[in-house]
Amino acid sequence: MNRGGVKRGRNDGSEVPKNRKVTIKRLWYYLSYYKKRLIIGIILTILSNALSLIGPYLTGQMINEMSVFNEGIDINFNQIFILGSLMIGFYLISALMNYYLSIALVKMSQSVVYKLRMDLFNKMTTVKVGYFDDNQTGDIISRMSYDIDSIATSLSADLMNVITSTITLVVSFVMMIIVSPLLLLIYFITIPLSFLITTLLSRVIKRRLRIRNTKLGELNGFSEEMISGQKTIQSYVQEDSIFEKYQEHNLDAAKKSYEAGYYSTVTGPSVNFINNFGTALVGTAGAILVVFGRIMIGDLSAFMLYSKRFSGPINQLSNLVADIQSALAAAERIFFVLDQDNEKKDIDGAKSRGIKTGLVEFEKVSFGYNANKMVLKNVSFQAKPGQTVAIVGETGAGKTTLVNLLMRFYEVNEGTIRIDHIPIDKFQRRYYRKSFSMVLQDTWIFKGTVLENIMYGNDNVTFDDVVSAAKKARIHHYIEHLPNGYYTELSDDGVNISKGQKQLIVIARAMLSHSQLLILDEATSNVDTYTEVNIQEAMRNLMKNKTSFVIAHRLSTIKNADLILLMSKGNIVEQGTHESLMSQKGQYYNLFMSQFA
């Protein structure tokens, strides 16, 4: 069984509605927490850029001062010294401002990202369980890491670039008009050409990069599949054919990467050529104007410096727009998750206590994961406190679904589930769920010590309690022989211990909890006979004095159950004890005879 159902669909995020205005507004909501930092950042960007843009003007003035030498006039070195000092001063202040600005923006973007990440994580703990049925873990993790990172980069770099580019464009433009409107006209001949080439090439590059990423994705997917299936590949002696397939994928990826790289490399020289062509045009025309005394040589030099500054943002513009678009798309993917429905709130006056006796009643319960297809139909039964209920039936019969409803992972469509004669939605969810212990087939072990793993979710337990639970779970002996006993670190998902041992640890965890109800999903076939006997014994210990629901695969569990629910196609087709069902000679009898007799 699987928390929240076993069948998983896919959601690749393509359903994300594209409403950029709303996205920007929502991003602004996050940014507005750090308004002060943002305003300081913007002011510093404006000032530092404005100051650095005075540089070319001062350079022009210096050259003009010096050019009088040709006319036989003495150079005013005092003036040149003042201009030079001003220039150094402005550049220095601008650099310092840039430094503080970068720090302010990085801090701001990290604060926004921190908050976004917390909201997203919080969402994962409150969202309806059904969300995890339709979304792959990898996709959710990629939203939490890759998407959030791309917002962070955009906030710290793109935001600054937009402001810087705008200021550079405006100031350079104004300064070029002041210095020489005529040269500006000549210079503007090359601007559309440069803009056009950059836009065209960046479109081609984007397409090539997309193809390259798809190919790399395919290559990674193939590698992942191969690594996880290594044992099967070796057992079927498929190494050679796998190698050939990998070679094909690798060649394809390398080819597409080359093509993407080729176009990216071509852009730089092409755009440079156009820009240099513009510079040559302005330089030639400017030189003629200088000769005819229409402008001074220093002004020409200042103009050329401004024109260089002006072309920078023009060339960057399309990249910048693409970066911002992709950051907004990332934000949309995140907001889409944040907008998912949460679990329903507890009703007013819901009981703030757990279950007392453990009497469980299903009354005409119907449920479907989709409203148009009922998976459980009109299910009714009663389990008395302390009884063991074995749920049996073919695959897809609805066994896991029944347990999912009992745990309140989903809400019933029709009918009522009662515990202690109280409809289950009249309990606060947290107290209700605390009354259950679950031992599933896909046991959940986290990175931490054996002790921490057993204690998980159980407050106020002592080391002795843990040892006693481990003894009852028949895992104490094994733990004692680990290098650091109970303090041995288990790796992620417990890959350094066996499946059976993992299950015993989880049983020990459940032993510690004083829950009245227990849900067990018996392992089918992944353990050896010795471990199986151990697990069975441990489970029997665990079931004592609890109302237990077991998705049963073992003969002994089924035979000893107080109540067997035989499920088929969403219905309970037969229910009763082993003896009573056998004497009916119905479906249970047939199933039993075909599987166990």
Interacting residue with ligand ATP among 63, 296, 397, 440 (CB under 6 A): 397
Q: Is there binding between residue 462 and ligand ATP (CB under 6 A)?
A: no
Q: Is 155 helix (H, G, I), strand (E, B) or coil?
A: helix
CB within 8 Å of 53: residues ≥ 6 apart: 167, 168, 171, 172, 175, 306, 309
Looking at the Cβ atoms of 132 and 187, the one nearer to ligand ATP is 132
Looking at the Cβ atoms of 124 and 177, the one nearer to ligand ATP is 124
> Distance between CA 69 and CA 74 in Å, rounded?
6
Interacting residue with ligand ATP among 162, 375, 473, 591 (CB under 6 A): 375
Q: Could you tell me if 423 and 416 are in contact, meaning their C-beta atoms sit under 8 angstroms apart?
A: yes
Interacting residue with ligand ATP among 49, 61, 194, 401 (CB under 6 A): 401
Interacting residue with ligand ATP among 13, 229, 385, 396 (CB under 6 A): 396
Q: Is there binding between residue 6 and ligand ATP (CB under 6 A)?
A: yes
Question: Is residue 319 packed enough to be buried (19+ CB in 10 Å), middle (13-18) or exposed (0-12)?
Answer: middle
For 88, the token pair is 């150094």
Q: Is there binding between residue 573 and ligand ATP (CB under 6 A)?
A: no
CB of 258 to ligand ATP, least distance (A): 43
Residue 390: closest CA among 596, 130, 128? 596
Q: Could you tell me if 455 and 402 are in contact, meaning their C-beta atoms sit under 8 angstroms apart?
A: no
Q: Is there binding between residue 399 and ligand ATP (CB under 6 A)?
A: yes
Instruction: Map the footprint of ligand ATP across residues 342-371, applying CB under 6 A.
Output: 369
Question: Is residue 471 packed enough to be buried (19+ CB in 10 Å), middle (13-18) or exposed (0-12)?
Answer: middle
Interacting residue with ligand ATP among 5, 60, 286, 354 (CB under 6 A): 5
Stretch that binds ligand ATP, among 5-13, 17-25, 206-214, 243-251 (CB under 6 A): 5-13
Interacting residue with ligand ATP among 395, 460, 525, 594 (CB under 6 A): 395
Q: Could you tell me if 8 and 413 are in contact, meaning their C-beta atoms sit under 8 angstroms apart?
A: no
Stretch that binds ligand ATP, among 150-158, 178-186, 217-225, 389-397 (CB under 6 A): 389-397
CB of 571 to ligand ATP, least distance (A): 12
> Distance between CA 567 and CA 337 in Å, rounded?
35
Q: Is there binding between residue 400 and ligand ATP (CB under 6 A)?
A: yes
CB within 8 Å of 594: residues ≥ 6 apart: none
> Distance between CA 134 and CA 349 in Å, rounded?
33
For 199, the token pair is 């836009």
Looking at the Cβ atoms of 60 and 398, the one nearer to ligand ATP is 398
Instruction: Map the footprint of ligand ATP across residues 106-145, applying CB under 6 A.
Output: 133
Question: Binding residues for ligand ATP, how many (CB under 6 A)?
Answer: 14
CB within 8 Å of 234: residues ≥ 6 apart: none
Looking at the Cβ atoms of 78 and 395, the one nearer to ligand ATP is 395
Q: Which residues form the interface with ligand ATP (CB under 6 A)?
A: 5-7, 133, 369, 375, 393, 395-401
